[in-house]
Each structure stands twice: as structure tokens, then as C-alpha cells.
């Protein structure tokens, strides 16, 4: 019954679970005893996972099927990239870490709110290959600069497929005119589907390893 209750409702602390058990059965657990009980029942304390409420599951599944077909045809003549922009803020981000009980681990932070504008494309077959640009702003022109780098990087390919979201600069008329007659074909993700963009994993890794809990004065 406790397992079903925890699967139906979010309890943000072991203290809340202790109170529910006491109200339901009149049994009093210590906080430590409750934590051990939760672990035995297969629960762990972790963050919830967010997802866009507007996401269309059927369209996502159809896109995954289409992407699978594209991957099957990849060979010597074609290459697949996932593209996205990232705007990390210049400041330290507080995160979870093992810190001695009763003490605080202080990290310096800056007062500014300046952001970096990063535009990048990641090779799906070789994720270590990433084309990266730092620009004053992310727009159609900066996107075209990334595409130029891809064209220079793959002179031997007949097709360069680029998976991207529905940002305005990807659908810009001038950019579309420039792409005509080139090897590059844009493949647009379904709306509200960052979970299908492989490069989002790189941005998450970057935040964890490079930004979180690391101080950069400049």
C-alpha cells in the first residue's frame, strides 16, 4: 500500500512519508528508519524529470522511425548531424555534491548575467566530432557559417543531413535560398522535442562537467 501511495503521489521528504505512515497505520518511524525502508522498497531520492507538456507523442514516434530509416542509409556518401544553439550564462551554478554534514561548501559567483552564444553541430556517427561557433547572436548568418564549415569538412560526401529544431533562423528565407543546390538538407524535429536532439546530451554534459560548481572570473 505504501509503494502504491508513493507511485501515485510525490513526497518531497522522508518526514512527509513518516507522517503519512503514522496517520495511516499509527506506526512511528524515525527519519533514518524511513529512509532505509524506502531504499528496501526500491525508491531513491532524485530529481523529477521534466518534459514539454505540448509534445506530440505520435509525431515523435513517427520521427524516430523516419530517423531510423535515415541512419540505415548512412554510408560513404552521406553523414548525419544534430544541430542546436546553447546560451550558457556566465555564472557558477550550484549543484549536488558530497559535503560534510554541518558544513557549507562555498563557491564564488559573479554579479553579471552575460551569456555565451554557442552554435554547434554534432556528428551522429562520431559524436566526438563537433563543429562549434561562438557568435554575438545566433541567427541565420551564424547558422550558415556552421553549414559552411560542414561543407568544408565533408567534401567527399554527397549528402549532409542536419537535424534541427524549429527556430526561426533555421527556416529563414535567405538561409533557405543559400541551401538550394548544396549537399545540406535540414530535417526539422517535431515541435517541443528537445529529447530527440542528440546534441542536447552534449549540452547537459557540458553543464555538468564544465559549468556546474566551477568558477570562471572572466
Asked if residues 58 and 177 have their Cβ atoms less than 8 Å apart, the reply is: no
pLDDT in tens, 138-188: 999 999 999 999 999 999 999 999 999 999 999 999 999 999 999 999 999
The maximal CA–CA distance of the chain, rounded, in angstroms, is 74
Between CA 180 and CA 80, with CA 177 as vertex, the angle to 5 degrees is: 50
Report the C-alpha gap between 82 and 186 in whole angstroms. Answer: 10
Give percent helix, percent strand, percent coil of the chain, each to the nearest 5.
Answer: 40, 15, 45
* Beta strand pairing call for 118-123 and 184-188: unpaired
Q: Which phi and psi angles does 186 have, rounded to 5°?
A: -85, 135
Q: What mean pLDDT is reported for the chain?
A: 91
Query: Which position has the higher pLDDT, 203 or 208?
Result: 203
80 burial via Cβ count (<10 Å: 0-12, 13-18, 19+): buried
pLDDT in tens, 14-52: 999 999 999 999 999 999 999 999 999 999 998 888 777
Beta bridge partners of 195: none
Interaxial angle between packed helices 14-25 and 31-40, expressed in degrees from 0 to 180 and rounded to the nearest 10: 90
Does 98 have pLDDT greater than 80? no
The set of residues, in sequence order, having a beta carbon less than 8 Å from that of 141 and lying 6+ positions away, is none
Amino acid at each position: 500500500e505504501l509503494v502504491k501511495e508513493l507511485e501515485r503521489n510525490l513526497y518531497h521528504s522522508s518526514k512527509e512519508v513518516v507522517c503519512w505512515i503514522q496517520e495511516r497505520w499509527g506506526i512511528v518511524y524515525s527519519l533514518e528508519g524511513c529512509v532505509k525502508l524506502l531504499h528496501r522498497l526500491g525508491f531513491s531520492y532524485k530529481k523529477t524529470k521534466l518534459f514539454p507538456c505540448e509534445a506530440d507523442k505520435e509525431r515523435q514516434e513517427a520521427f524516430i522511425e523516419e530517423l531510423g530509416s535515415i541512419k540505415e542509409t548512412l554510408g560513404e556518401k552521406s553523414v548525419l548531424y544534430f544541430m542546436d544553439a546553447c546560451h550558457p550564462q556566465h555564472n557558477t551554478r550550484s549543484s549536488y555534491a558530497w559535503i560534510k554534514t554541518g558544513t557549507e561548501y562555498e563557491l564564488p559567483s559573479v554579479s553579471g548575467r552575460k551569456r555565451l552564444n554557442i552554435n554547434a553541430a554534432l556528428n551522429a556517427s562520431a559524436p566526438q566530432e563537433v563543429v562549434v561557433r561562438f557568435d554575438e547572436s545566433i541567427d541565420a548568418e551564424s547558422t550558415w557559417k556552421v553549414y559552411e564549415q560542414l561543407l568544408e569538412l565533408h567534401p567527399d560526401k554527397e549528402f549532409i543531413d542536419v537535424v534541427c529544431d524549429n527556430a526561426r533562423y533555421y527556416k529563414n528565407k535567405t538561409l533557405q535560398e543559400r541551401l538550394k543546390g548544396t549537399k545540406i538538407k535540414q530535417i526539422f524535429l517535431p515541435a517541443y522535442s528537445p529529447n530527440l536532439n542528440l546534441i542536447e546530451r552534449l549540452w547537459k554534459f557540458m553543464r555538468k562537467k564544465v559549468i556546474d560548481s566551477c568558477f570562471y572570473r572572466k
